[in-house]
Each structure stands twice: as structure tokens, then as C-alpha cells.
Amino acid sequence: MKVFFINPPFKAEYGKFSRENRSPAVTKSGTLYYPLWLIYAAAVAEKAGFEVEFLDAPAKPLNHEQSIQYVKEHGDHTKLIVINTSTPSIYNDMDFGLEVKNMYPDAKLILVGTHPSALPEETLNYNSNIDAVAKREYDNIVLEMAKAIQDKKDLSTVKGLVYRGKDGKIHENENAAYITNIDEIPFASKFIKEHLDVRDYFFSAAEYPEIQIFTGRGCPCRCNYCVYPQIMHGRAYRMRSPENVIEELIYIRDNFPDVKEIVFEDDTFTIDQKRVIDICNLMIENGLNKRFKWLCNARVNLNYETMKKMKEAGCRLIIPGMESGSQEILNNIHKGTTLKQIREYVKSAKKAGLLIHACYMVGNEGETKETMKETLKLALELNTDTAQFFPLIPYPGTEAYDWAKKNEYIKGTYEEYCKPDGTHNCVISLPNISSEELVNFCDEARRKYYLRPRYIFHRLYVGIKNPEDLKRSLKAFGNIKKYLFKRK
């Protein structure tokens, strides 16, 4: 029995739509994430003995017609169609899945991802031909659904599934338990090696080509806007053992001679700093620090000693969510960090020789034009290697979405979460700050940050020391320059 996993094209005329981003879009920097959650689910099904077909249309990129042709050529004997989705692309993704199901009417169609997980009944009501959606992490949900189809069992046996029964009504099964033994999940890198091409993906902060993996799932932090912990993976950080992580890094070393950097995509890789040090020591023992560099998401409570060990183990860059220059805003969004911590973090990282990609966000509860100025002031003061500025994008299932919806601050439909060209759009408008003002602030902040002579000379200096970093920077700049020089 074949299970067909599909990351669909996003509209016929656009290509590299990155659904796995925490804010899905065609990114200004050209970043395209691996569809890792879909990859893990496909790897689990394949490990269980199912025939698996995998299409990542944005990676090539394939348009709608090319993707349909690929499905026609590879879809024989398909009994389960798994469609990756996101909030901005939900109707597009659903329509593609329905077209595939029309080609294979005996197959079941399931939609997966944050949107159907947050809004299962609403999603099923979009169209009566959608058979099911998965709630929360879906590796084992898809597997158990495939087993039920193969064994001709009722879907009521599949935990975590919300489905349309034979009576035409929607039924919601009890939630599936989170996977606790993360070591049992197959390596994403092995599946990538066998089914995908690393050169189809780009991460603007990493040297090219890079490969992304997860070493854990979930996050104990309470940030009210963060999508995956609230909708998919929960508040507990379930970790792979250091030995299991090193085993995959050795696999990457031996099977991807061109890969220059590893991206640890955990929401916060550095939650358990003792584990980070253990992983670093094993990297050093196995000589992996001499083979490739790596980067990770790292909260601002990371201490200097851990940073030093990370640097020794090959870490090049860390990505913290600074979010705001206002302590009041940080408190409102339950960030659990302080401006003092942020400043000490940047000082320690620079001392340890680590680069920083800082993330800033405006439009949260309590935001004013003055707090936005404080955020830009902080960004310029910290002067990290790179920085990004975005308006809050409140996704269904998050506390930030509930806050914005309750106060009628959301002014757009799901499709309007992205502009017609697939790039991010601002759907939130506060009483004292319009959506246009939020966007204009981020555009202007980006210009002020990146077009400073001090910053330009810094990038050239880093590039002279590291030609690979210069190539990465030039590629990212080539993608983003039209946004830097565009003015209202």
C-alpha cells in the first residue's frame, strides 16, 4: 500500500513557499525550510513497511500543472494522501489535495499541519471530500491511519484523528500521546538523502548547502505567539539522547560531502544546557567540529560557559528571539526574559566568538509607537550580525491569536496572511497603530539596520575572513535588496 506525502505548490505562478517556517510565506531572504514534520511522518511510515512517495513541490519548484503531472506518474496504488498545510495556504492546499483525491477516488485524504491541528472541525467543513485531519504531532497518527486503511479497520481506532464517518458526521477521537522516546524516530537526514536534494533548500543564516534536523520536540517557554509548542508539540521539551544526535551527525558527515552547515531547528535547542555541553563534547570527540559548522535557536538565558563550549564544537551562529525593546511588552507576551538578560547575552556571545541573528517583532499587546522606537533603538545598540523585523502574525491556536481575535484586531482572512506574491502580509491592526504603520516601521527598521556604513563594513570584514560567509551574505542580500530600497 502506498502513502503519498505532498507539500503542495503555492499557486501556479509562485514557487518557493516555505510552509515549515513559523510564519509560512515566500520569504524575502529566499529561505526555504525543509518540510521536516512531513519528512519525519513519511520516514516513520516507511520504517513500518509502507511504500512511500514524497513530493516537495516548492523545493524544485514545481507549479500546479507540473505537480499534478508528478502525482500522475508516481501515484499508482495510492491509498492515503497526506497534504501538508499552513494557515495562509490552507485553501490552496485543500484544493490541491482534493484534485489528487479526484485522481485516486479510492484513497483517503488527510490534511496535516498547524492549521488543521488548531481548527480540525472547521477544516473538515471546508469540503465534504476531506476525510480526516490530524491533531498535534502526526507521525504516528498518519501511520495508524495507514494501518487502519490497510487492515480495513474503522478510523475510530486512530487516536489523534478527527475524521468524517460513514454517517457523514465529524468524529473526534481522543488525542494521541506525544512520542516520548524521540530516539526511535528515523533520521530526517536519511530520508532526505534517499528522497530529496539538499541543494533545493536555502537558509539565509547558514552556509550553503545546509541540512536541518530536530534534536527534540516541544518547548517549556510560554511565549504567547509561538506556533509549534502551542499547536503541535506541547510545552515539554522531549529530547533525543546526545548519542542519538551524534549518530545522525556522523551519518550526515559520511553521506553529505557537500553540506557545510547543520541547522538545529528545535524551538530552543539550549533549554537543557548540560545536554548541550554533552552533545558538544561528543562532537569534539568525533571530530565533527572540524567537518562542519552549525547553528541553533538559543534563548537569552544561555550562559557564557556553554557558549564557549558550543563555539569549540563548531557552532557559528545562534538565533534568539529578542522580540522587543520594551520590558512591558516582553512581560505581556510571556517571554520570560529581561532586557538585562538580552544585553548580557549579546555581550557573552560576542566574547565567545558566536554570531547572532536577532529576531524582533512589533504589534503585540501594549505596543505603541514609542515602544516600537525602543525596539529599533535596542537593535541598533546590540548591533548583532544580522536582524529581522516583523509584525506579529497571530496564528489560530495560539494565545496571541485569541487575544487579537477577541479584541477584533485581525483585519484579514487566512488567505490575506500572505500577499498575492506569497510574501508575508500584516493582518493585525491596533487601535493606535495601523497594519500599514507596522509594516512601514519594519521596512524602515530593516533599512536603518542594514544600510548603516558601520554594518556594511562589518559584513565585508567578516566576509574577507570567511569567503563562504560572504557568498551566503551576497545571496541573501540579492534576495532582500528590493525590499531594502523600496520606499512608500
| Enclosing domain of residue 454 | 182-484
Q: What's residue 474's pLDDT?
A: 61
Assess whether 208 and 347 both reside in one domain: yes
The whole-angstrom separation of Cα 166 and Cα 186 is: 34
Same domain flag for 255 and 355: yes
Looking at the structure, tell me whether residues 119 and 196 fall in a common domain: no
361 and 438 fall within a common domain: yes
Domain boundary among 146, 172, 198: 172
Whether 89 and 216 share a structural domain: no
CA angle 146, 148, 153 (to 5 degrees): 160
Residue 177 maps to a domain? no
Q: What's 356's domain CATH number? A: 3.20.20.70
Are 220 and 152 contained in the same domain?
no
161 and 202 housed in the same domain? no
Closest CA to 148 of 158, 140, 159, 137: 158
DSSP 254-302: HH-TT--EEEE--TTTTSSHHHHHHHHHHHHHTTGGGT-EEEEE--TT-
Domain termination residue (choose one: 172, 192, 219):
172
Rounded to an integer, what distance in angstroms lies between the CA atom of residue 1 and that of residue 151? 11
pLDDT recorded at residue 94: 98
CA-CA distance, 372 to 434, in Å (whole number)? 13
Q: 187 and 165, same structural domain?
A: no
Residues 121 and 255 occupy one common structural domain: no
Cβ pair 86, 24 in contact under 8 A: yes
Q: Is residue 48 part of a domain?
A: yes
Q: Which of 413, 421, 359 is nearest to 27 (CA)?
A: 421
Rounded CA-CA distance 81/71 in Å is 11
List Cα–Cα distances, 98 to 11, 105, 133, 296, in angstroms. Answer: 15, 10, 13, 37
Q: What is the pLDDT of residue 248?
A: 98
Please check whether residues 127 and 188 belong to one and the same domain: no
Residue at 79 is within a domain:
yes
What's the CATH number where 158 sits?
3.40.50.2300
Contact 297, 271 (CB under 8 A): no
Q: What is the pTM of this model?
A: 0.94
How high is the pLDDT of residue 357?
97
Say if 55 falls within a structural domain.
yes
Q: Is residue 9 part of a domain?
A: yes
Q: Which residues pair with 391 in a beta bridge?
A: 362
Q: Apex CA 225: angle with CA 223 and CA 227, to 5°?
A: 100
CA separation for the pair 387, 391 (Å, rounded): 14
User: Is 249 found in the same domain as 212?
Assistant: yes
pLDDT digits (tens), the chain, 488 positions: 999 999 999 986 667 999 999 999 999 889 999 999 999 999 999 999 999 999 999 999 999 999 999 999 999 999 999 999 999 999 999 999 999 999 999 999 999 999 999 999 999 999 999 999 999 999 999 999 999 999 999 999 999 999 999 999 999 999 999 999 999 999 999 999 999 999 999 999 999 999 999 999 999 999 999 999 999 999 999 999 999 999 999 999 999 999 999 999 999 999 999 999 999 999 999 999 999 999 999 999 999 999 999 999 999 999 999 999 999 999 999 999 999 999 999 999 999 999 999 999 999 999 999 999 999 999 999 999 999 999 999 999 999 999 999 999 999 999 999 998 899 999 999 999 999 999 999 999 999 999 998 888 877 877 777 776 666 556 555 655 555 556 55
Tell whether 383 and 444 lie within a shared domain.
yes
> Which residues sit opposite 82 in a β-bridge?
5, 110
Question: What does residue 6 show for φ and ψ, rounded to 5 degrees?
Answer: -130, 125
- Note whether 222 and 400 are within 8 A (CB): no
Q: Which of 126, 153, 172 is the last residue of a domain?
A: 172
Tell me whether residue 407 is in a domain. Answer: yes
Q: Is there a domain that residue 193 lies in?
A: yes
Number of domains in the chain: 2
